Amino acid sequence: MNIFQAVILSIVEGISEFLPISSTGHQILTASLLNISQTEFVKSFEIFIQLGAILAVVVIYWKTILENRKALKPLLFAFLPTAIVGFILYKFIKGFLLGNSMVVVLALLIGGVLLIILEKVHKEKDSHTETINNITIKQSILIGLAQSLAVIPGVSRSAATIIGAMFLGIKRKTAVDFAFLLAVPTMLAATTLDLLKSGFSFSSSEWMLLIVGFITTFIVALIVVRWFLKYIQKNTFIPFGIYRIIIAILFWVLVLK
């Protein structure tokens, strides 16, 4: 992988990480289109640059994190299921799921259909949970279980979390905020685990690619998250569902056929 490819992958990560379209899926599809082999380093790169996306969330939500410590409890309980699943299935995820284009296409397609169905059947009520503080332990655990489905590339961590939260009676804006904040411990744990497993055994040129990827992802994610928070106040997720279906079909026709 060269510097140009690293920048493209990082831009894709920054755009797709917090949108309900699957960053991992887009990373794999982009790597396939750029003829980047799914080596162990490329897989580590795709995980490492998520740190840039994490930093973007921290920059945007740092006041919320510092001033709203009661939110830590539901976030902790939501994080646990994903942490357990990710730790147990680490070898299977990295060895089989990551880099599997067929899995990505199917997950993108099914996820797109589910997003559209969600918007058609979901009706937000005044009684729905309006703040993260009021999310119950039961809701938190179930949201965490929904998020754990994102170990399948193409599912989308944010989509799984947001859909799970909304179906459990949490208001749209709160579901999005919770999904973004939950991304911090989830992605940090995933990146740390991968770095520990790899033993930080990267060459100087590989470290340069990691640094460039981190910075690029941070800048792009910062812009995208701010835009998305404004978007969801007046719009639905249906366009993202349609996009997922279209991109899955195009990839099937142009790449996998």
SS (H, E, C) 103-151: HHHHHHHHHHHHHHHHHHHCCCCCCCECCHHHCCHHHHHHHHHHHHHHH
Strand runs labelled E in the chain: none
Q: Tell me how many domains the chain contains.
A: 1
Give residue-wise pLDDT tens across range 131-161.
898 899 999 999 999 988 887 877 888 889 9
**Of 17, 26, 8, which Cα lies nearest the Cα of 212?**
8
What are the phi and psi torsion angles at 170 (to 5°)?
A: -110, 135
- pLDDT value at residue 91: 67
**Of 184, 158, 185, which Cα lies nearest the Cα of 172?**
158
How many angstroms separate the CA atoms of 170 and 80, rounded? 20
pLDDT in tens, the chain (257 residues): 889 999 999 999 999 989 998 887 788 778 878 888 877 788 788 888 988 999 999 999 988 777 777 788 899 999 998 888 877 776 666 666 665 678 888 889 999 998 999 888 888 888 888 889 889 999 999 999 998 888 787 788 888 999 899 989 999 889 999 999 998 888 888 778 777 776 667 788 989 999 999 999 999 999 999 999 999 888 889 999 999 999 888 878 876 66
Q: How many CB atoms lie within 10 A of CB 70?
A: 11
* CB-based contact 24:188 (threshold 8 Å): no
- pLDDT value at residue 155: 84
Instruction: Show the domain range for 241.
Output: 3-256
How many angstroms separate the CA atoms of 3 and 23, rounded? 20
How many angstroms separate the CA atoms of 124 and 103, rounded? 32
Please give the angle made by the CA atoms of 9, 15 and 16, to the nearest 5 degrees.
85
Helix (H, G, I), strand (E, B) or coil at 13: helix
Pull the structure tokens for residue 229: 């928070």
How many angstroms separate the CA atoms of 15 and 214, rounded? 13
